[in-house]
Structure 1
Amino acid sequence: MFSPEGPSLRELAVQALSSVERGYDLLAPKFDHTPYRTPDPVLDAVASALAGLGPFDAGLDLCCGTGAGMDVLARVCRGSVTGVDFSAGMLAVARERARPLPGGPAVSWVRADARALPFAPAFDLTVSFGAFGHFLPRELPGLFAQVHSVLRPGGCFAFPVVAPPRPGSPAYWALLGFDAVMRVRNALWRPPFVMYYRTFRLGDVGRELVRAGFRVDLYALPEFGRRPDGSPRVRLVVARKAPPVRAGGPRRARRAGTGSPESP
């Protein structure tokens, strides 16, 4: 699973027995050499899909880690891009590895908890990659409310979601086993390390986004094909903050982009 430059088994064990914040501080120097980093094909597919939904001015990478998602924002945002994470170690690596392009958007980094974002409604696009397993289901309403609060009217919150493995498949049992181990670990050890792969379910997520005030569309990412039942292997969730209603009644929002979104 890991390259020679990745963390050792001992380092992973120490991380797993730490808090989420401390664990990622420890993992940060080698994070990009682990399978936990979002793969480039996913980043490229999301950037391609978002390019048809813009243009965007200011972008925010929520739980940015070492900054892989910032490259996506830099491709679709014209003004500025901001990465926010609560791990000082991850942000340090992100700053060190950032290579702003001449003429590209301004880049900034902020240390903060995604559940208490220190921003005004200043962003046109928020993205997030691979971070939602660190939030318990009961935390999603507050998380989505925070994202809603930092978006400008009409702004988008976008993130990819991989279809769950087929019940009974090796991947299904692997994820089930991982979550079971984490639950036992958190029952026996403090501080807890919240990382569950099976708690972020698309149907529940869609309902919570709507409750937070978003209009939700789903876009298939064709680069990853479809499952035997015809459903996409990977979808892009695009949750748009409703624009203000003008005097004289509601105005139908223009739907940008190519292709037709699926029903959430």
Structure 2
Amino acid sequence: MFAPQGPTFRELAVQALSSVERGYDLLAPKFDHTPFRTPASVLAPVSRVLRTLGPFDSGLDLCCGTGAGMDVLRQVCRERVTGVDISAGMLAVGRSREPVAAAAPRMEWVRADARALPFGPAFDLVVSFGAFGHFLPRERPGLFAQVHSVLRPGGRFVFPVVAPARPGSPGYWMMLAFDAAMRIRNALWRPHFVMYYRTFRLADVRAELAGAGFDVRLHALPELGRRPDGSPRCRLVVATRDRQPI
């Protein structure tokens, strides 16, 4: 699963026993050599859909990490792209990867908690990749309200969602075991490290986005395959700000 330049087992264990912020600070120098970074096979289809919806002037990568989503925003935003993350270490790595003397759009890296974004309604597009497991279900309505508040009217909040693993499949048991181990870890150890795979259910998320003031549409990503029943393995959620939160 890991490249030779990736973290050792001991380094991963230390990260897992740290807080989310401290854990990613420790992992940051080797993060891009792990399977945790969003792969190009996911980024490319998202870019394809965004090109049909744009262009956009300014974009925000929510929980940007080392900047995989920033690369997507640079393809579809004309003026400015901003990455926000709670980990200073991840931001430092992302900043170091920034193209030298790059043309527009201008790139910015901001350290902040996604639950308290330090922006006004300045963005036409917000994307996020692989970060929602770090938020408990009760935190999502507030998170979505924050995203709504930083989008201009008509702005889009876009992220991919993978279909849940079929019950009884190896992927199902792996996710179940991971979430169970994480709950045991957090019951016995402080600080907590919040990362759960099975709590981000599309039906719940759609209702929460609607409650925050979004009109929600889904786009299939056929490049990522189909399930045995013919449904897409991955969909792109496109939530558009068109009204005030209820």
Match of 1:222 in 2: 222
Q: 1:100: how far off?
A: 5.8
Q: Is the 8 A contact 2:214 2:243 kept in 1?
A: no
Match of 2:10 in 1: 10
**In structure 2, C-alpha distance between the alignment counterparts of 1:11 and 1:238, rounded to whole Å:** 37
> What amino acid does structure 1 have at the position aligned with 2:183?
R
- SS state at 1:114 partner: coil
Q: What whole-Å deviation, never above 9, does each CA across 1:166-214 have from its counterpart, x for those lacking one?
A: 0000010000000000000000000000000000111100000000000
- Larger gyration radius, structure 1 or structure 2: 1
> What amino acid does structure 1 have at the position aligned with 2:97?
R
Match of 2:26 in 1: 26
**In structure 2, C-alpha distance between the alignment counterparts of 1:174 and 1:192, rounded to whole Å:** 21
Gaps of 5+ in 2: none
Q: What whole-Å deviation, never above 9, does each CA across 1:10-65 have from its counterpart, x for those lacking one?
A: 00000000000000000000000111000111011100110001121000000000
**In structure 2, C-alpha distance between the alignment counterparts of 1:195 and 1:100, rounded to whole Å:** 34
Counting only pairs closer than 5 Å after superposition, residues 67-216 of structure 1 correspond to structure 2 as 67-99=67-99, 102-216=102-216
TM-score (norm 1): 0.91
- SS state at 1:82 partner: strand
**In structure 1, C-alpha distance between the alignment counterparts of 2:149 and 2:103, rounded to whole Å:** 29
Root-mean-square deviation over aligned CA pairs = 1.1
Gaps of 5+ in 1: 245-264
Q: 1:243: how far off?
A: 6.0
Runs of 4+ in 1 over 2 A off after TM superposition: 100-104
**In structure 2, C-alpha distance between the alignment counterparts of 1:176 and 1:103, rounded to whole Å:** 45
**In structure 1, C-alpha distance between the alignment counterparts of 2:222 and 2:71, rounded to whole Å:** 21
- SS state at 1:52 partner: helix
TM-score (norm 2): 0.97
**In structure 2, C-alpha distance between the alignment counterparts of 1:240 and 1:190, rounded to whole Å:** 38
1:195/1:108 CA distance change after superposition, 3 Å: same
**In structure 2, C-alpha distance between the alignment counterparts of 1:103 and 1:94, rounded to whole Å:** 17
Corresponding residue pairs, total: 244
Q: 1:228: how far off?
A: 1.3
